[in-house]
Structure 1
Amino acid sequence: MHNIIITGVNSFLGNHFIQEFKKSYYINCLVRPNSKRTKHSNIKYCEVDFLNPIFNKSMFNNIFAIIHILSIKSSNHPDIFRINVDFTKKLVEAALLYKVQKFIYISSESVQLPGEDCYTKSKKKAEKEVAIHNNHLILRPTVIYGKKNKSDIGFLIALIKRIPIVPIVGNGKQLIQPVSVEDVVKCIDSGLLHNISGIHLIAGQNSLEYREIIKVISMALGKNTMVIRMPFAIGYIIAKFLALLKLRFLQKSQIDNLKINRVYSMDETEKIFRLKFSDPKEGIYRIAK
């Protein structure tokens, strides 16, 4: 089995990878002190100061690949560039110095969308750092959904459970193409097994209108949900007010991205990664149920 290093192990995506592949790899997790830990014979932990990382050769002994998931998503966080960019740069440098064969980086669909914020800017810069490694794989997942995810679609499920009214910006006809967390971790594993490189956007099998996602969740929960549509102008005002309060519930960049349809063909990507992406309509219904 290969030895790998992983960051962001306690994130939604990182935890899923650990649980799915802890018997397939020897996993070395870079974590903060007092972080949550999973007990398993194939899992080891190494404490790191992510703001001022110090890497040594022993940490990279016999390491085949690095899977870099760690990321700050809040654009208002004071350390977003230090973690998302500077730490990434130092990790790539260490990978090159200690001859790590592969570097996998989890980026975001947002880097190719019109909306821009500090998170998107940091991801774009981080991708440039990762591209320095001669055997890199950059994955750009769309909105990731799955059990126990508290953000994005997970937040929407929690909202529909609690209240009968859901406000949305725009008419709700915008198309998005969510991807299951299971498919994302399979792409990481496939990238390792088949030495896949380059930049790849990964999404679900089909696209859905935002209002259709609300309908699917409501049906799964047996709820009769009323949708309140807000004009984009009102949405921008609310986003500006929330920005003053340093809340990331609704950001200008997110509203910008609601003005386009995010539809992708996964045919070629499925061939490259040797898998079939899940239908998000079925997947979202299942996790909401």
Structure 2
Amino acid sequence: MKTVAIIGASGHVGFRLVQKLSSIYNIHCIVRDTDKRDFSDFNNIQVFKVDDISYTLELAKAINNCHAIINAGYIWFAEEILQAVNINKSSIEHILFTGSTGIFTKIPSSSAELKREAEQYIVDNYQIPFTIIRPTMIYGHKNDQNISKLSRTLKKTPLFPLVGSGDKLIQPVFIDDLVNAYEIALFDEKFYNNSYNIAGAEPISNKELFKKVSNSLDKKVIFISIHPYVISIIIKLLALFKLKIISYEQIKRFQENKNIDIEKFVQAFGFRPRSFDDGLKQMKKSHVL
């Protein structure tokens, strides 16, 4: 049985990967906090505490005897991961990275730039076969900071502000579809040294997304369009009281289309991720909403 190291195994994506892959592979769960998740119910599991991925000596020990690595954490640790592999001298056959379609933004962003630089580093320096999977906004679990957070807010208010008209497109991806993609790609040579964008089945507008969430909650919410300039003034006023509800970058991103072409992904992986409607139905069925 092959052994797979999962970096960020206690995170929402990482833990689902443990659940899905532990019956197929031996798993090295690499975590910062050993108390965050209970791995005792799984077979073929070893848990390694690595306080920071930049601690390459600790990481090297954690990936010892592994055949593959799934980095469910930040892609900008690509250099440190490669250093750990070289220290360990492990015969890693495949490394999967979690990227982000946020790299395609035209808005100045330090986070997006770090991710672009990491991808370029992987392409330029990795001799080990790699696959980069770039999700859009991930949703589908009760603690996600996207749809679940939105639903909690909508439950509490009859009015909800929209930045601008809310007509810009968004294409969130359900977390189980992302995890499924990792399982398919792992150790499959046709995915080596390539990158794929994964998103929901089709894009929808921000306003439509908000309405679908409120409808799924059986809650009537009135959405009010507010000019971005007005919101920027509100942000400045809140800053005087050291309050922050949204950043300038988030305002700009809200006014940018975030839809993505997933046909390359669909053809390669053999499935089309679920629609937002189907994702909401699954969340409701699982009592996440």
TM-score range, shorter chain: 0.7 to 0.9
Taking only aligned residues, the RMSD between alpha carbons, in angstroms, comes to: 2.5
Asked if the contact 1:242/1:248 (under 8 Å) is kept, the reply is: yes
Of 78, 84, 102, 1:88 maps to 78
Deviation per CA, 1:28-62, whole angstroms, max 9, x where unpaired?
01122543231122221111131534247653343
Q: Which residue of 2 aligns with 1:129?
A: 121
Maintained 8 Å contact 2:56/2:84: no
1:65 corresponding residue in structure 2: 68
After TM superposition, the score normalised by the length of structure 2 is: 0.85
1:45 aligns with 2:52: no
Q: Percent identity?
A: 26
1:281 to 277, 286, 289: 277
Residues of 1 paired with 2:260 and 2:44: CA distance? 37
Pick one of 75, 90, 98 that aligns with 1:98: 90
Aligned amino acid, residue 192 of structure 1: L
Alpha-carbon offset, residue 232 of structure 1:
1.5
TM-score (norm 1): 0.85
**Alpha-carbon deviations, 1:116-147, whole Å to 9, x = none?**
33322322232233332231111110011102
CA offsets, 1:221-260, max 9 Å, x none? 1100011211121233445667788877422222222223
CA distance in 2, matches of 1:20, 1:218: 31
Alignment of 1:1-289 (within 5 A): 1-36=1-36, 37-39=38-40, 40-50=42-52, 51-55=54-58, 59-71=62-74, 85=76, 87-96=77-86, 97-131=89-123, 132-134=125-127, 135-195=129-189, 196-197=191-192, 198-239=194-235, 249-288=245-284
Using the alignment, how far apart are the partners of 2:33 and 2:171 within structure 1?
36
User: 1:2-44 CA distances to partner (integer Å, 9 max, x unpaired)?
Assistant: 2111111122211222222221221101122543231122221
User: AA paired with 2:266?
Assistant: E
The question of whether the paired residues in 1 share the 8 Å contact of 2:197 and 2:261 is answered with no
1:192 CA drift (Å): 0.4
Is this contact kept in 2: 1:220–1:286, CA < 8 A?
no
- Give the total of aligned pairs: 276
C-alpha distance in structure 1 between counterparts of 2:181 and 2:205, whole Å = 25
Are residues 254 and 158 of structure 1, via their aligned partners in 2, closer, same or farther at CA, if it must alter by over 3 Å? Answer: same
- Unmatched runs of 5 consecutive residues or more in structure 2: none
Structure 1 segments, 4+ long, off by >6 Å, are 241-248
CA contact under 8 A between 1:179 and 1:204: conserved in structure 2?
Answer: yes
Structure 1 residue runs of 5 or longer lacking an equivalent are 72-83
Q: What secondary structure does 1:54 align onto?
A: helix
